[in-house]
A = this chain, B = another copy of it.
Amino acid sequence: MIMASKAITNGIGVQVEDTKICVVMVGLPARGKSFIAQKAQRYLQWLSIPAQVFNVGNYRRNDAPQPTADFFDMNNTEGERKRRAAAEAAVADMLAWLRSGGVVGILDATNSTKERRKWVLDTCNAHGVEVLFVESKCDDEDLIMANVRDVKTTSPDYKGQDPEKAAQDFRNRIKMYEKIYETIGGDDSEEDQYTYLKLMDVSKQVIINRIQDYLQSRVVYYLMNLHIRPRSIWLSRHGESMYNLDGRIGGDTLLSPRGEAYARKLPELVRQSVGDDRPLTVWTSTLKRTIATSRFLPSHYNQLQWKALDELDSGVCDGLTYQEIKDRYPDDFAARDEDKYNYRYRGGESYRDVVIRLEPIIMEVERSEDILIVTHQAVLRCIYAYFMKKDHTRSPWMNVPLHTLIKLTPKAYGTVEERWEANIPAVSTWRAKGSTAKHENPTPDSL
């Protein structure tokens, strides 16, 4: 029915068909550039916006797998040549990827001179690609040293080397870069015309220059809201509900007796996992079963109800069993199994719709400290997919057992997961493709 050619909407509701962006990281080593690049990639990908990180260090390692600091001395012409070649290869691959359907390419490198940045800008613009520079500046010695420790233990540049020597070499490498490093813009130079975001001391101060379009503004707002203070996110489904017992979806029923037992046990599980003295914020949906599940938690926890955490709306199928859905709407039943992420229930929602409405929740989780989210199977799958970088084709089929507390702890290079079982029996609400079983044991690969 849509007449215009460019009418496809993406995960955040706006066409991105014609937009190609290169996010160019800028900053000295150990300033969290890779962390920011990975977060941005994960966020965009979760919103169905094709995004990919191109790490120049990985290209350079083909030529120079474990260079010492003097490789990065700007007077080392051989080092300079190899580093330049690596940047060129990364940019060429990124442009090819953007041509083949990519939308946001993220160039992860120091890009520490005005000359290098101008080269990246000119190269991208010549290919019709917009450029957003993202500089991470940081003078906080504690943060830098934490990053140095991280790098020496995780970087392939130092694999198998003595940690103390690695740290010393890495600090020397930083010094090489400091000699030539130029911050972006702010001196009436050509760079004042660039589009850039400057994050100083992890968003204590943020400078935003000439952000033009919607997608850039979303990326900027997301990056502004990141913090790196240690914290965890706890996820739980509601306790077993009356509809769960019947194998019915949706509805707004109360808890089964076993669900009630989970609600009573949840404070103890939380105490074991969180500890006594950490303040926790609790978010529920507006549906009875999540509110009931949270009602015995300590009264000094703040509790908030979010409509955005309500279960995926199954429209005309609300309250039905899968067998009833298959009987009444056989084509819909098959279409959903065919593409569970994109299938929208008649008068209801798809997983894609749920992700869109969860976007403000994710933004708020990123801003938050310790938090417990008590929600529903489909919603939990979407939140989990964001943190654990799960694919859209797989996450709607993921098994999320009832009566289990999941703890996610974001780290610099990914998210650590732990689970706490209440050991209170509950039905399984997992369902295999094609199945109409009321309760079915999950297959091993759905765990």
Q: Are A13 and B364 in contact (CB under 8 A)?
A: yes
A304 touches B347 (CB 8 A): no
Report which of B4, B205, B224, B303 forms a contact with A299, defined as CB distance below 8 A.
Answer: B4
A361 CB to nearest B CB, Å: 8
Q: Which of A39-47, A71-79, A208-216, A436-444 contacts B (4 or more CB under 8 A)?
A: A208-216
* Central interface residue in A4, A6, A288, by most chain B CB within 10 Å: A4
Knowing A353-B307, A364-B14, the reply to whether A299 touches B208 (Cβ < 8 A) is: no
The copy count of this chain in the complex is: 2
- Across the interface, do B4 and A303 meet the contact criterion of CB distance under 8 Å? yes
User: With A217-B367, A307-B356 in contact, do A302 and B207 touch (Cβ < 8 Å)?
Assistant: no
Given contacts A207-B208, A307-B356, is CB(A7)–CB(B347) below 8 Å? Answer: no
**A292 engages B13 (CB within 8 Å):** no
CA distance A88 to B256 in the complex (A): 60
Contact of A210 among B204, B252, B307 (CB under 8 A): B204
Q: Would you call A155 an interface residue if the criterion is a C-beta within 8 Å of the partner chain's C-beta atoms?
A: no
The interface residues of chain B lying within 8 Å CB-to-CB of A364 are 13-14, 214
B208 touches A347 (CB 8 A): no
User: For residues 249 through 264 of chain A, which have their beta carbon under 8 Å from a beta carbon of chain B?
Assistant: 252
Closest residue of chain B to A360 (Cβ to Cβ) is: B13
How many Å from the CB of A224 to the closest CB on chain B?
7
Q: A308 at the A/B interface (Cβ < 8 Å)?
A: yes
Chain A window 1-25, contacts with chain B (Cβ cutoff 8 Å), 1 for yes, 0 for no: 1111111010011110000000000
CB of A304 within 8 A of CB of B14, answer: yes
Q: Is A318 an interface residue (CB 8 A)?
A: yes
Assess A301 versus B217: contact at CB under 8 Å? Given A208-B207, A306-B9, A364-B14. no
Residue of B7, B221, B301, B305 near A304 (CB, 8 A) is: B7
Asked whether A302 and B6 contact (CB < 8 A) given A13-B308, A217-B224, A364-B14, the answer is: yes
Measured between alpha carbons, how far is A214 from B364 in the docked complex, in Å? Answer: 8
CB proximity to B under 8 Å, residues A315-364: 318, 347, 349, 353, 356-357, 360, 364
On chain B, the residues within 8 Å of A299 by CB distance are 3-5
Can you offer 7 A-B residue contacts whose CB atoms are under 8 A? A1-B288, A3-B299, A6-B302, A207-B208, A208-B208, A211-B224, A318-B347
The 9 A-B pairs at the shortest CB distance, nearest first, are namely A206-B208, A7-B303, A1-B291, A4-B303, A205-B209, A3-B299, A207-B207, A13-B306, A4-B302
